[in-house]
Amino acid sequence: MPDLFETFLTSPLGKALAPKVGLPQPVTLRRGRVLPSGGIALASLPGAGLAAEALRLLEIVPVPAVRDDPEARVPDAEGRPKPPRYEERIGALVIDASTLTRIDELEHLRAWLRPAVRGVQPSGRIVLVAPEPESADGVEKRAVFHAVDGLNRSLGKELRHGVTTNLVYVAPGVTAAALTSTLLFLLEGRSAFVDGQSWRVGPADVAATSARALAGLVVVVTGAARGIGARIAEVAARDGAHVVAVDVPQAGEGLAEVANTLRGSALQLDITAPDAAARIAAHVAQTLPGRRLHAIVHNAGITRDKLLANMDESRWAAVLEVNLAAQVRINDALLDAALPGGLADGGRIVGVSSTSGIAGNRGQTNYGASKAGVVGVVRYLAPRLADRGITVNAVAPGFIETDMTAAIPPVSREIFRRTNSLQQGGQPVDVAETIGYFLDPASAGVTGQVIRVCGQNLVGA
């Protein structure tokens, strides 16, 4: 639904005024399991073949990338040398720099990126692939691997018209198949609100991703009656999962509607109840005999905002209990391999953090603490569950258009909504799609990661 600002911008007066006073003009982003309509250009450093092979597995035939080499420039009418251009707008540029070792090789990235800045169609993509910094065995390598991150984040702030750029760090031993889920997520509209981010893909023995990746798998989503949780349930069901939708009894009506529409099942449950995990597992064991959970998505969350000067113990406790303590207890119980209906080996734990937990937010000391705690859960559990093939990741949403953010006073809301590289709020589905990417069995190499779904928030980015 257009907000007031959007309505103004699309009016004749707004259209005339906006460019003059430098007001942001957000574009409608491409969403869903949809590739860009333009070609996917591929550029690879000498010896780099990972992205080419992953594209082949995805049955995407790349087009050649245009390079800004000094000798390729052609004089314009005034005789000034101009870099070569794409004849037709491309949908994306993928640069495979997985064999990067030296600082001077960054010139290749500049040469490929320059024509792409104006050559990528609206809502198009730049995807950079580089070696993970921890794998560097010398100072220049470590420096240059980090340098790509700075390049990516700065480029994100220059791109316009909904074009995003993201960086995939690949660990030694990553196969092309293990990269497919990440590459497809980034190229498709599913990653619409993920911009200027970098995360790691590790080695995993998997087959290439597919659209119905979750067929036959059971996924539990907490807080599923509305907002982001309802969209997570929808995305998981679209990709084939049987969804167990969990929410408090007071939200029973919305919960039943979500579960019925998706042909999943509803479980009315307050996640802070001491027996919450036991009830989730019992529900799975009874409704789907013999099955274990593929995933638990800890989406249920609350805010009780107050400046710390006015923060009483009940606001403090409620937020830490729902947003953090409950999920620590639930994970602990579901990880018991002997519990019928518990988490299966090869499964997924997904947390929902927030940019407030990363950058901090005035009036949200309780919420910020709880959401930073979610990052702690990810960091602690991911390496410890690797031998069971269980991945642990989180999303950190920025400003997402939901009932939660509709309650923010109008002026602050307008500021939060616009101050990111995409100049608009994200949609609940943007968070859901990123979680869907974590849930994919082909994402087994993605663990211990926190992906911000924030359109590259300008604060604390």
Q: Which residues pair with 298 in a beta bridge?
A: 351
State yes or no: residue 302 binds ligand NAD (CB under 6 A). yes
Helix residue spans in 239-364 (DSSP H): 252-261, 276-287, 313-320, 326-334, 355-359
Under the binding rule (CB under 6 A), the answer on residue 253 touching ligand NAD is no
Residues 258-277 touching ligand NAD, rule: CB under 6 A, are 270-272
Spatial distance between the Cα atoms of 239 and 210, rounded to a whole number of angstroms: 9
Taking residues 380 to 399 in sequence order and writing x for each that binds ligand NAD by CB under 6 A, - otherwise, the string is -----------------x-x
Strand order in the sheet with 40-44: 63-64, 40-44, 90-96, 120-131, 164-170, 198-201
| Residue 271 and residue 322 in contact, taking contact as beta carbons nearer than 8 Å | yes
Q: Is 178 in the site for ligand NAD (CB under 6 A)?
A: no
Q: How far apart are CA 437 and CA 142, in angstroms?
A: 28
35 binds ligand NAD (CB under 6 A): no
- Rank residues 176 and 432 by Cβ distance to ligand NAD and give the closer one: 432
CA Rg value for the chain: 23
Shorter beta-carbon distance to ligand NAD: residue 62 or 426: 426
Amino acid occupying residue 357: G
Find tokens 């989730």 and name the residue: 280
Q: How far is the CB of 398 from ligand NAD (least distance, A)?
A: 7
Whether residue 367 lies in the annotated active site: yes
Are residues 215 and 240 in contact, defined by beta-carbon separation less than 8 angstroms? yes
Q: Count how many residues are written for the chain.
A: 461
Residue 188 vs 430, nearer CB to ligand NAD: 430
Stretch of 26-34, 91-99, 342-350, 402-410 contacting ligand NAD, by CB under 6 A: 402-410
Q: Is residue 404 near ligand NAD by the rule CB under 6 A?
A: yes
Paired with 78 in beta bridges are: none
Measured between alpha carbons, how far is 364 from 387 in angstroms, rounded to an integer? Answer: 36
Applying CB under 6 A, the span of 103-111, 128-136, 257-265, 299-307 interacting with ligand NAD comes to 299-307
Residues 113-152, interacting with ligand NAD (CB under 6 A): none
Position 419 contacts ligand NAD (CB under 6 A): no
Q: Does 5 bind ligand NAD (CB under 6 A)?
A: no
Distance in Å, CB of 53 to ligand NAD, minimum: 36
Does residue number 225 form part of the binding site for ligand NAD (CB under 6 A)?
yes
Angle at 375 between CA 254 and CA 461, to 5 degrees: 95
Tokens of 168: 């995939």
User: Are the C-beta atoms of residues 117 and 83 closer than 8 Å to each other?
Assistant: no
Among 91, 189, 229, 264, contact with ligand NAD (rule: CB under 6 A) = 229
Q: Nearest approach, Cβ of 426 to ligand NAD (angstroms)?
A: 8
By annotation, the residues acting in catalysis are: 367
Interacting residue ranges for ligand NAD, rule: CB under 6 A: 222-223, 225-229, 247-248, 251, 270-272, 299-302, 322, 352, 354, 397, 399-400, 402-405
